[in-house]
Chains A and B, each alone.
Chain A
Amino acid sequence: MPCVAAFLVPGLPHPMLKPDNLPWGQLASAYQRAGRAMSAARPDTIIVYSTQWLAVLDELWQTRPHLKGQHVDENWYEFGDLPFDMTIDTELAHACITATRAIGVTSKPVNYDGFPIDTGTIVADHFLNEGSAPLVLCSNNIYHDWAKTVGLGRVAAETAEQLGRRYALVGVGGLSGAMFREAIAIRDDRIHDPEADRWNRTVLDLIERGDVAGLKRVLPDYQKQAKPDMGLKHLAFLLGGLKENFFGARVHGYGPVWGSGAAVVEFRL
């Protein structure tokens, strides 16, 4: 079974927690459009890679069958709590754990009551998973480079195909990383600086046109100049899962979250 949908989405909680603030509300609306597209695609399972689920020793995969709770973001707690209620595709998660050995990655299951689910995963699930499809959640090992993350995405996708899943891929993370380091008038939120904005738009344009070669060409400079979230590894995961095969993309929305760049992108498959 093929990939039925793929999205690159932001992981900060502001669109979810305070959509009445216009800049964030516009991102929330974009997220909702993407959510409708996800529903229309009817995936059996949604594979999520979030830059905010950090791992150090191994690659981690959530294998607790049901996760329910309330999370408070360590930075953005003033905007409220983040409830979550998720079902995990444990069969696929375990299969991925075994499969990653083939690319030299040691994986481990995570099945603990109270394990901290990251903000990005919760936000993505909130907006994109109206149908409550089971999820596969995998971590961002900070020592995995771009190539290894591409490999991880590919393995996750291939494993899903082997199990006959209609699967969707979601890469959760931000674009340019510069943030305002003080209080701001939130209604006036904007991309931190014109150069970061220019870079974000360049990358989004390349994604929209499906220009993978162009993306690879600009990525080193983008990473250096705009310091995107975790070097944009969430895109690496998607490219690996898609085997770089996509016809283009639709940017449902692009805007700031406290100065950092955020975009909701739906890949055309």
Chain B
Amino acid sequence: MANGEIIAGFLAPHPPHLVYGENPPQNEPRSEGGWEPLRWAYERARKSLDELRPDVLLVHSPHWMTHVGHHFLGVRHLSGKSVDPIFPNLFRYNFELTVDVELAEACCAEAGKAGLTAKMMRNPNFRVDYGTITTLHMMRPQWDIPIVGISANNSPYYLNTEEGMEEMDLLGKATRRAIEATGRRAVLLASNTLCHLHFHEEPAIPEDMSREHPENYEGYKWDMRIIDLLRKGQTREVFRLLPQFVEEAFAEIKSGAFTWMFAAMGYPEIPGELHGYGTVIGTGNAVMEWNLVKAGLAGRGAASGYRPAPAYAGASY
């Protein structure tokens, strides 16, 4: 029996400004830098990822939003130019990636068994969304690790936050079962910003950091509260507060990646490592890591990492 496991999860937000600031060869626009503290945060995350040496990266992105169920990229090689429709001046990125189709199919099948509507995306001309691309570039610019790309079903918006998070909880658990069954050492990437209140105008020089700050003080305080709880390992309390955080800070957490990731990891009550926090056009972004190997919850001789779901995640599966 295959003994795959999740070895880490990262909160890995996707503002394209970070790619723009880095000036990688794949991105057409050129910058003078910008958002350095957040990019340095990602450098620390990259180092950790390098040490973890996973077989696969799974990413759940809010910018592939689907109406009919949860979708999984199902074509082995995908390439193209990803252009951000909101920030085309910053992000026009030539991507090429490899999908772990076997794992994606296993995740899809497990999601179906859990009662979710799930589909495989098999169109070879599909353009991968810019959220997925940005998160993957910032975490692993070498693009040498296969990926599984997962859509954000719109249930939190179409239904309500709580019902949506129940679906993401089921999806996360299904993801875990698929990873275990296929023998992968997997890292999960939750592509989410925290407070998503933002400016409505862009500075003339986008990377002018004298114009960068939290858009909203209450939103900033929420971000700090959540990060503080996560740093202390108070996962249950975070999930208790999640609906209120979403409501009051317009948190992008609502789209489900964060819940998916934590459900897959088993809601571990372990401290998350904050690699860094910064704002991008006023939104709050944290790069954080839950290293299950260091916590003794993954790797050889690890104790079971499973914890029961928080009370609001009422799925009984």
Judge whether A182 and B85 touch: CB under 8 Å. Answer: no
Judge whether A110 and B88 touch: CB under 8 Å. Answer: yes
B193 to A: closest C-beta gap in Å: 13
* 8 Å CB interface, B80-95 against A: 81, 83, 85-86, 88-89, 92
Complex partner residue of B66 from A75, A113, A180, CB under 8 angstroms: A75
Does any Cβ of B come within 8 Å of A247's Cβ?
no
Complex partner residue of B117 from A54, A70, A72, A183, CB under 8 angstroms: A183
Residues 177-207 of chain A, each 1 if its beta carbon lies under 8 Å from chain B, else 0: 0011111000000000000000000000000
A interface, over-half SS: loop
The interface stretch among A55-63, A87-95, A210-218, A248-256 is A55-63
Given A57-B202, A58-B201, is A74 in contact with B65 using a C-beta cutoff of 8 Å? yes
Q: How far is the CA of A214 from the CA of B117 in the complex (A)?
A: 40
Q: How far is the CA of A166 from the CA of B304 in the complex (A)?
A: 70
Which B residue sits closest to A179, measured CB to CB?
A: B67
Does any Cβ of B come within 8 Å of A20's Cβ?
no
Which A residue sits closest to B199, measured CB to CB?
A: A57
The interface stretch among B50-58, B120-128, B238-246, B262-270 is B120-128
List, in ascending order, chain A residues with CB within 8 A of B121's CB: 77
List, in ascending order, chain B residues with CB within 8 A of A162's CB: none
Complex partner residue of B68 from A55, A116, A179, CB under 8 angstroms: A179
Residues 45-66 of chain A, each 1 if its beta carbon lies under 8 Å from chain B, else 0: 0000000011111100000000
Given A77-B123, A78-B123, A81-B125, is A114 in contact with B67 using a C-beta cutoff of 8 Å? no
Number of residues in A with C-beta < 8 Å to the partner?
28
B157 to A: closest C-beta gap in Å: 11
A42 to B: closest C-beta gap in Å: 32
Judge whether A112 and B86 touch: CB under 8 Å. Answer: no
Does any Cβ of A come within 8 Å of B64's Cβ?
yes
Does any Cβ of B come within 8 Å of A98's Cβ?
no
A268 to B: closest C-beta gap in Å: 34
Q: How far is the CA of A55 from the CA of B158 in the complex (A)?
A: 20
Does any Cβ of A come within 8 Å of B69's Cβ?
yes
Given A54-B85, A57-B202, A114-B81, is A74 in contact with B64 using a C-beta cutoff of 8 Å? yes
Residues 190-228 of chain B, each 1 if its beta carbon lies under 8 Å from chain A, else 0: 000000001111100000000000000000000000000
Judge whether B123 and A72 touch: CB under 8 Å. Answer: yes
Given A81-B125, A143-B200, A181-B117, is A74 in contact with B66 using a C-beta cutoff of 8 Å? yes
Does any Cβ of A come within 8 Å of B162's Cβ?
no
Q: Which B residues contact A (CB, under 8 angstroms)?
A: 64-69, 81, 83, 85-86, 88-89, 92, 117, 119, 121-123, 125-127, 129, 151, 155, 158, 198-202
- Name the 6 nearest CB pairs between A and B, nearest first: A77-B123, A114-B81, A112-B88, A182-B117, A114-B83, A72-B126
Known A72-B127, A110-B88; further 8 A-B contacts with Cβ < 8 A:
A57-B201, A74-B129, A74-B151, A75-B67, A81-B125, A181-B68, A182-B117, A183-B117
